[in-house]
């Protein structure tokens, strides 16, 4: 008998503990007194009940927090892939919407102008801090020549200074070599817009008594034999008037934001002033004396 008890002592102990726990849980469902016997039963049963339920709680915790989450990792990876794909699709749709709105503005701008124009995309830009130019993807094959003006839907961009078969180099209006003859729309005061290799330009050679104010709009005059008359160049930001001299000077903010320049139009018109011999070859005007000699 003792051998049998020794052999199954762990099982018997567990059965005893289980029985005590069952008795304790059963007693909790029914009202019990507050006497010493009830207190003794509760005092003995509670630690035993905790001892019995702890392995069960541990198994439940392992199952809930580890074994049941075996497939969660693969599900998370799949969800991450789906989220990344949806984000890329959303980005593509947003970019297509922005491009559609931009192309619509360009189409409307092109429809408002009668001059023949060639659309082009900016494919490169000069990284030098002293020179401001870009390269577009249209060249001599599209009829572009050096000296042609370049614009976009906002205003003047620059002029073509170099051409290959399939590309052209455009000198921006903010380059130090750029010069544009312009006038103030409000007062008709004239001057020269000069690039400063920054985001601004200078409005030089403005007569001292001319009326130029901050906020005035500058337009091309057409007298430089490059740009047609009436294209928007920029707005006046500040005025500088020296206490002496013939001229005053203004700082100009170009209407074109060259930081996000993507599409441009090249006006297929090269405007050149006639050479002096061309004027000399013209027929001399008939004078009154000449008219009197005629029969």
Rounded average pLDDT over 264-274: 78
Arithmetic mean of pLDDT, 190-203 = 90
**Claim: this prediction has a pTM higher than 0.85:** no
Euclidean distance between the first and final Cα of the chain, in Å?
Answer: 165
What pLDDT was estimated at residue 291? 40
* pLDDT over 60 (residue 294): no
* Spatial separation of the C-alpha atoms in residues 261 and 152, rounded to whole Å: 9
Whether 275 shows a pLDDT value over 80: the answer reads no
Q: Are 148 and 228 in contact (CB under 8 A)?
A: no
Question: How many CA atoms within 13 Å lie on the side-chain side of 287?
Answer: 4
Percent of the chain with pLDDT over 70: 59
Give the model confidence (pLDDT) of 210-238 as tens digits.
Answer: 999 999 999 999 898 899 888 999 999 99
Residues 6 or more apart whose CB falls under 8 angstroms from that of 115 comprise 228, 267, 268, 269
């Amino acid at each position: 008998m003792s051998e049998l008890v020794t052999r199954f002592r762990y099982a018997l102990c567990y059965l005893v503990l289980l029985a005590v726990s069952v008795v304790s849980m059963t007693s909790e469902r029914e009202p019990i007194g507050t006497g010493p016997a009830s207190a003794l039963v509760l005092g003995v049963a509670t630690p035993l009940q905790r001892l019995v339920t702890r392995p069960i709680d541990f198994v439940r915790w392992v199952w809930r927090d580890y074994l049941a989450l075996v497939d969660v990792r693969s599900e998370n990876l799949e969800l991450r892939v789906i989220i990344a794909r949806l984000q890329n699709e959303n980005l593509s749709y947003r970019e297509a919407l922005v491009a559609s709105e931009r192309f619509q503005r360009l189409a409307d701008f092109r429809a408002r102008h009668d001059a023949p124009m060639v659309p082009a995309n900016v494919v490169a830009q000069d990284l030098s801090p002293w020179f401001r130019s870009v390269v577009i993807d249209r060249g001599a094959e599209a009829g572009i020549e050096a000296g042609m003006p370049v614009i976009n839907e906002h205003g003047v961009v620059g002029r073509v200074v170099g051409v290959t078969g399939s590309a052209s180099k455009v000198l921006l209006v903010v380059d130090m070599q750029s010069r544009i003859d312009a006038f103030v729309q409000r007062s008709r005061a004239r001057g020269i817009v000069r690039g400063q290799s920054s985001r601004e330009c200078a409005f030089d050679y403005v007569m001292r008594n001319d009326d130029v104010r901050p906020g005035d709009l500058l337009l091309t005059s057409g007298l430089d034999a490059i740009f047609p008359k009436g294209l928007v160049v920029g707005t006046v930001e500040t005025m500088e008037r020296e206490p002496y001299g013939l001229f005053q000077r203004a700082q100009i903010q170009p209407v074109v934001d060259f930081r996000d320049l993507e599409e441009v139009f090249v006006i297929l018109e090269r405007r050149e002033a006639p050479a002096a011999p061309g004027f000399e070859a013209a027929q001399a005007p008939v004078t009154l004396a000449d008219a009197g000699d005629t029969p």
